[in-house]
Amino acid sequence: MEYRQLGQSDLKVSALGLGTMTWGEQNTQNEAFEQMDYAVAQGINFFDTAEMYPVPPRPETQGSTETYIGHWLASRGVRDDIVLASKVAGRVDLNPGVSHIRQGPRLNAEQIHAAIDASLDRLQTDYVDLYQVHWPERMTNFFGRLDYKHQQDDGVDIHETLEALAKVVEQGKARYIGISNETAWGVTHYMNLAKEYNLPVISSIQNPYSLVSRGFDVGLAEICMRERVGLLAYSPLAFGVLSGKYLNGQKPENARLTLFNRFQRYTNERTSTAVAEYVALATRHGLDPAQMALAFVTSRSFVASNLLGATTMAQLKSNIASQSVIISEELESEINRIHNANPNPAP
């Protein structure tokens, strides 16, 4: 397993990370334990979770994912070997379905401190290595939104959020901080505030990145390389779509897009067209389509860790095996040909 520096921090994270958002909904605690045991045995040291998980968010299950991880950490005694990341939920009207978290989460100081304390309790640890803002407080584009329309709103100012995160770090409850689902302006503003007010710099940004969602290449990639902010790439398989299992209208039993109609981001016609071409390309090269898609993400110079999300052990084992796939110049050229003909169908 390759290990990479996370931004300007002293954290070394595995190039493949373990995503956890199905634990407590599609996966039981025993299944989560099996995934964590196997991942660690394969060299994965980076676990990513959130107070909101599992997904889809529901009051009955909220916090279950962190609770499972906490039980595992307590039973295995390996806390110091794991780079553990969690997230604080943002403004409720920008992500419907999370009103049960603190009666409507916001990114102000009071709520951030309440959130980290609750997460640490569930995780059965005194600190997380990385504490992330799950999505912006302000009205902007994320979760696949396009066509930005500027408007003034009553969002908590980033400066207040960053000062609260600084206090969390000062108290020893988090070693480093990060952001998620952010824009180029957001990254720049966080960095400028940190420099101006001597506050912690962000070490990471967790945004979507995959063969069908490469918007990060434009703007954000350069900013993050120059400012040393590592990308934690989520949805590298576009919710499993890039495996090809949903092509031609297929609905595999117990698959995420079969079970939940919440996830429509990767199911449009343009995405299906592109996926069919990527699957055909992988087949011509004798590769598993999902492994090729994952290997492409891992190969990007701005990616610190590629977050795997699996509901079965067979999926997890195959996904981790993607580390042996090499994206040759010829293969990358063919990938880019497909991308250029149908760019970013699932932003």
Q: Which of 22-36, 83-97, 181-195, 241-255 has the lowest mean pLDDT?
A: 241-255
Q: How confident is the model at residue 266 (pLDDT cuts 50, 70, 90)?
A: confident
Which helix (H) or strand (E) element contains residue 293? helix 289-298
Burial zone of 149 (CB within 10 Å; 0-12 exposed, 13-18 middle, 19+ buried): exposed
| CA distance linking residue 232 with residue 241, whole number of Å | 19
Question: Does residue 197 have an active-site annotation?
Answer: no
CATH topology of domain 3-236+302-310: TIM Barrel (3.20.20)
Asked whether the bond before 200 is cis by omega within 30 degrees of 0, the reply is: no
Q: What is the pLDDT of residues 67-102, one digit of tens each?
A: 999 999 999 999 999 999 999 999 988 888 899 999
Q: Where are the domains of the chain?
A: 3-236+302-310
Cis peptide before 57 (omega within 30 of 0): no
Q: Where do we find the tokens 């505030």?
A: 193
pLDDT (tens digit, 9 = 90+) per residue, 272-304?
A: 999 999 999 999 999 999 999 999 999 999 999
Sign of CA dihedral 338, 343, 345, 347: positive
Q: Which of 53, 190, 209, 234 is catalytic?
A: 53
